[in-house]
Structure 1
Amino acid sequence: MFLYLLIFMAYFGCRRIPRSQRIKFQLVNVMFTALVLGPQLYVLTRPESSRYCKQPLLNNLSASIVLSCIAVGFSVVFTLLEPVPLSVWRCYYMFGLLSFGHALGTVIITSTAAPCAKTTPELYYISLVLTVASVVSTVFLVVKCGLWLINRLDEDNAQEAAPP
């Protein structure tokens, strides 16, 4: 869910900036991309990451890198297109479901991989960081969706209560 939240923030952050200054935002977007992908690629290339670990942390990291690359593509498309086509939005929501599934898998794998901290420390700690980021972003999105639903229901109730 962390990657889904990054795309969400890129889209809504970009819409608050005038079109003439969005190139600066694109540069900030590239920096966030480097901050997200850089550590993952670094850990993937470390020789210690290929050591044996009972849990599939390396496979999970590979999936996270693939999802990160997809998220980079979405964030670029969302900041360049105005308006964003409905088909792209649908793909983004499907990516959100995939991201949620990956986050859930990351939490489960990392919670049972404490012994891997000795054999593959970098891999374990990057998995731990991804787990914390996923949990925090999931909580944020659940609260945001809950507030959106409450607001939507209040608007519907206000329209029903209004005299014709």
Structure 2
Amino acid sequence: MVWQYLWAHGVFHLIRWFPRTNRSKVRIFILLLTLAFLIPQIFVLATPESARFCGQHLFEFLIVSIVYTFCMIGFSVLFSIMDPIPWEVKLAFHIFGGITYLSGLLLTIFVSLAGECSVTTGTLYFFSLALSIFSVIGIVFLTVMVPFWIVNRIWKNSVLDLRYRTGVCYEPVKCCSCVWHI
């Protein structure tokens, strides 16, 4: 469920690609798209099949995913409106990222053990499988990036310094600096 963290992170950077005076249409579009993530989750939650017994806790993870999606919507709204972002919001966002990272790991483990649930709760299982795949992609991305962020925080601008165009990672991220920070 790391995808919620990465989506809000992407919203932060996407909004800032547009001039401050011309962000209203983009804000509305992104917020409608962000709200649309609730539709499939609520659909799966509402199907009677999802309430059947499954040996793993996929139904509970679906509810957790809906709660995280509401948090993602809140962070997306804050990131699209606030400029600059206060450090308290950034801290809360990164704590949210750590929680979604752990939840994504747990979901992946539970889905890998829930083979029999594909028969009893097919919709829930396959939706959880899709969430698990998105979580694995996010987990791999964050596992690769976090050490660079930490090193750059400890030794200021050693990995990437966009202001002076220096650092070990300047060349790989100069065209896509959005993967770098929030």
Please report the TM-score for the alignment, with normalisation by the length of structure 2. 0.79
- Give deviations 1:115-158, integer Å, cap 9, x for gaps: 100000110011001000011122223333455547943569x8
Equivalents in 2 of 1:147, 1:101: separation in Å? 20
Match of residue 84 from structure 1: 85
- Residues 125 and 19 of structure 1, relative CA distance in 2, 3 Å threshold: same
Equivalents in 2 of 1:155, 1:130: separation in Å? 32
Moved more, 44-53 or 132-141: 132-141
Equivalents in 2 of 1:72, 1:155: separation in Å? 30
Equivalents in 1 of 2:76, 2:35: separation in Å? 13
Report the alpha carbon displacement of residue 94 of structure 1 after superposing the two structures with TM. Answer: 0.7
Equivalents in 1 of 2:125, 2:41: separation in Å? 12
Report the alpha carbon displacement of residue 105 of structure 1 after superposing the two structures with TM. Answer: 1.1
Q: How does 1:109-128 map to 2 (within 5 A)?
A: 109-128=110-129
Moved more, 14-23 or 94-103: 14-23
Match of residue 72 from structure 2: 71
* Root mean square deviation, CA, Å: 2.2
Report the alpha carbon displacement of residue 5 of structure 1 after superposing the two structures with TM. Answer: 0.4
- Gaps of at least 5 residues in structure 1 are 160-164
Q: How does 1:127-142 map to 2 (within 5 A)?
A: 127-142=128-143
Match of residue 60 from structure 2: 59
Report the alpha carbon displacement of residue 32 of structure 1 after superposing the two structures with TM. Answer: 2.6
Match of residue 10 from structure 1: 11
Would you say how many aligned residue pairs link Structure 1 and Structure 2?
A: 158
Equivalents in 2 of 1:146, 1:78: separation in Å? 24
Q: Work out whether residues 5 and 141 of structure 1, in 8 Å CA contact, stay in contact via their aligned partners in 2.
A: no
Report the alpha carbon displacement of residue 26 of structure 1 after superposing the two structures with TM. Answer: 1.5
Equivalents in 1 of 2:31, 2:130: separation in Å? 21
Match of residue 30 from structure 1: 31
Give SS of 1:114's match: coil
Equivalents in 2 of 1:87, 1:154: separation in Å? 25
- Residues 23 and 147 of structure 1, relative CA distance in 2, 3 Å threshold: same
Give, as a single letter, the amino acid of the residue that structure 2 aligns with 1:115.
E
Equivalents in 1 of 2:33, 2:112: separation in Å? 27
The answer to which structure, 1 or 2, has the higher relative contact order (CA under 8 A, 6+ apart) is 1
Moved more, 136-145 or 112-121: 136-145
Equivalents in 1 of 2:143, 2:62: separation in Å? 25
Q: Work out whether residues 11 and 79 of structure 1, in 8 Å CA contact, stay in contact via their aligned partners in 2.
A: yes
- Give deviations 1:51-105, integer Å, cap 9, x for gaps: 1111111001000100110011001101100111111111001101111111011
Q: Name the % identity.
A: 34
